[in-house]
Structure 1
Amino acid sequence: MNHILLVEDDPAIATSLNITCKREGWQMTWLDNASSVLEFLRTAAAANLSAIILDVGLPDGDGLSLCQKIRHTADIGRLQDVPIVFLTARSEEVDRILGLEMGGDDYCAKPFSPRELVARIKAIWRREQLHHAAVNTTDAAAPHDGAMLQMSEQALTFHCRSGTWHYQPLNYSLLWQQQKLDLSNTERKILLTLLQAPNQVFSREQLLCAISDYPDHRLARTIDSHVKSIRKQLAQVDDATEVIYTHRGLGYGLCPA
């Protein structure tokens, strides 16, 4: 059974979403404040959590900071990578941008339809399933757009200009030069998209579509922030090797122009 955590201080929204979750056959846990979230995520009750819905405006904090804490709290294990969807007021475009930059997977503007929110969560799960299906069916013996892939049930290896990369689908870890990168879910998806087609130049809109089934093209510039964050982490491993190239007026790729 899918288990959803809702962090929202409005009882009416919580009641409505709980009814919708029950119709889907899902379990929902409701917390009305930010301070109890990390504590809950450390309990056995959160072990099989499938998604987190965070309100941006909470009475004792904000969902943006809470998302950042979830993504960087080591002792909650795999829950660092559980999909996060934000609930925002329609006028809070800046918050929507920050939410995606801080590790959110999608957002839903208030007022919203519970069915739309459920559809967005399902879309995130579907995208993850398609990604893993593509990874598990790749031909290990054939070159893939300039990168040689070596497959097993445990790991995927990319050999690119910048060196060797290892991706572990079971725990979503991505290693470069044998160093694990501390990537958000969105940053990892962007980098894996580039790695699977290293000779291709991806526009911001293409990368946005790769990380969301509901891309808002007004937010395409958030890709720049994600790439900046990825580059910062790569530089901590090796500041002499350029990995992601900017193709002026076009987008990003792993090979120079």
Structure 2
Amino acid sequence: MTHILLVEDDPAIAMSLKVTCKREGWKITWLDNASRVLPMLHSDAAQDLSAIILDVGLPDGDGLSLCQQIRHTDGIGNLKDIPIVFLTARSDEVDRILGLEMGGDDYCAKPFSPRELVARLKAIWRREQLLSQQPDLSTGLDDTDNGSVSNETQGQALTFDGPSGIWHYQPLNYSLTWNDTKLELSNTERNILLTLLQAPNQVFSREQLLNAVSDYPDHRLARTIDSHIKSIRKQLAAIDASIDVIHTHRGLGYALCPA
């Protein structure tokens, strides 16, 4: 059964979402403050969680900081990568950008329709399922120019071997490694890299990358891609600073460099 963790201090919003989730056949656990979230994620009750709906403004903490803690907390296994959707009453674009940069997968601005939130969750899971199947990742790749792709276990694992290094993606636990080192990526950062890997040397605009990682892209937030690329580059440089893996094409976008 789909299990949602809702962190929201407004009982009216919580009750509305609980009714909507029940109609979907989903289980929902409601917490009304930030302090109970990490202990819950460390408990057995969290092992079947499918997503977290996280209010930005909580009475005992900041939902943005809590998201960052979840993304960097040891001991919670794959829950570090669990989809997170923010609920925010803040209309400021900076706050929404900050939420996505801190590891959020999407957001709903209050007031919102519970049906819209359900649709956004389904869209996130659909993208994850498509990534796990990886049906088109080898399309258009040339073994001589761009490297080679091999499915070690069809639908489960993929390896890309090119001049920029060896990439391995394991969709069973959403693990992406570069040259035998696991990258600690948010869902959005991982999906950006996987999109770039689909077509080495192809220049992807910010809008194209935003469309690839969100079924509900807000093109005013396209510049968040720059922050995600910066974060990805920082991790890659810590592994091997001698390789310029992602190249910026000024005024156009980004491409994965094979050399």
Moved more, 157-166 or 241-250: 157-166
CA distance in 1, matches of 2:31, 2:71: 18
Q: Tell me, in whole angstroms, the C-alpha distance in 1 between the residues paired with 2:254 and 2:98.
A: 21
1:239 aligns with 2:202: no
TM-score by length of 1: 0.95
Contact 1:9 1:33 in 2 (8 A): yes
Post-superposition offset of 1:256: 7.8
Aligned equivalents of 1:194 and 1:139: distance in 2?
12
Matched, 1:125 2:125: yes
CA distance in 2, matches of 1:3, 1:201: 38
Contact 1:18–1:28 (CA under 8 A) maintained in structure 2? yes
Contact kept in structure 2, 1:81 and 1:185, CA below 8 Å: yes
CA RMSD of aligned residues (A): 1.8
The question of 1:223 aligning with 2:225 is answered yes
Once the two structures are superposed, residues 191-231 of structure 1 have per-residue CA deviations (whole angstroms, 9 ceiling, x without a partner) of 11101111210000000011100000000000000000000
Amino acid at match of 1:235: A
Structure 2 equivalent of residue 175 of structure 1: 177
- Name the counterpart of 1:108: 108
Q: Sequence identity of aligned pairs in percent?
A: 75
Pairs within 5 Å for 1:245-256: 245-255=247-257
Q: How many residues align?
A: 255
Q: Counterpart in 2 of 1:197? A: 199
Which ranges in structure 1 are unaligned for 5 or more consecutive residues? none
Alignment of structure 1 residues 157-172 onto 2, 5 Å: 157-172=159-174
Which residue number in structure 2 is paired with residue 32 of structure 1? 32
Are 1:188 and 2:186 counterparts?
no
Aligned-pair CA distance for 1:147: 3.7
The Cα of 1:177 is off from its aligned counterpart by 1.3
1:80 aligns with 2:80: yes
Mapped contact 1:143–1:149 kept (Cα < 8 A): no
CA–CA distance in 1 between the matches of 2:88 and 2:127? 23
**Residues 1:92 and 1:233: Cα distance change in structure 2 (over 3 Å):** same
Q: Report the residue type matching 2:7 in the other structure.
A: V
SS in structure 1 of the partner of residue 35 of structure 2? coil
Stretch deviating more after TM superposition (217-226 or 83-92): 83-92
